[in-house]
Amino acid sequence: MFRSIKRVSALNSKLALSKVSAPSFIKPAMFAIPSMRSYSAAGGLTHDEIRERIFSVLNDFDKVKHENISETADFSKDLGLDSLDTVEVVMAIEEEFNVEIPDEDADSISTVAHAIKFISNSEGAN
């Protein structure tokens, strides 16, 4: 009598420790919730959104005066940024829009308008 109880309890403990498999048609991805917002999901960024976000990036730099920021502003002439500051601005724009700007393209970005044009032509920008 006690042997059967021991076997049943051993069987129950094995069942408790075993994995319960889900049906094959249920996949974990079906229930995944996106953890971050996708800005480009609604058809891409508008010119105004890109401009405002680049202005925001430029406002974060201490050397840049808010009143000098415009769409036609040149990074060195109008905003007073040196070459190292310009590289930092381009890197900040890369982070803001989650894109990678190749070095040869980064060297050609010298104005706010160039940056806006590059981001608007980038497929992966968000």
In this predicted model, what pLDDT tens digit does every residue of 36-45 receive, in sequence order?
A: 555 544 458 8
Residue 74 lies in a domain: yes
Q: Which residues, at least 6 apart from 84, have a Cβ–Cβ distance to it below 8 Å?
A: none
When pLDDT is cut at 50, 70 and 90, the band that residue 125 belongs to is: confident
Query: For residue 74, what are the domain limits?
Result: 44-126
**Domain for residue 33, yes or no?**
no
CATH of the domain at 126: 1.10.1200.10
pLDDT reported for residue 33: 55
Instruction: Name the pLDDT band for 23 (thresholds 50, 70, 90).
Output: low
- Kindly state whether residue 125 falls inside one of the protein's structural domains: yes
Domains of the chain: total: 1
Position 50, amino acid: I
Give pLDDT tens digits for 51-76.
Answer: 999 999 999 999 999 999 999 999 99
Is residue 9 one of the residues assigned to a domain? no
pLDDT in tens, 64-110: 999 999 999 999 999 999 999 999 999 999 999 999 999 999 999 99
Which one is catalytic: 78, 82, 105, 107? Answer: 82
In a domain, 105, yes or no: yes
Residues of the chain above pLDDT 90, percent:
60
Contacts of 113 (CB under 8 A, 6+ apart): 71, 72
Residue 82 appears among annotated catalytic residues: yes
User: Is there a domain that residue 19 lies in?
Assistant: no
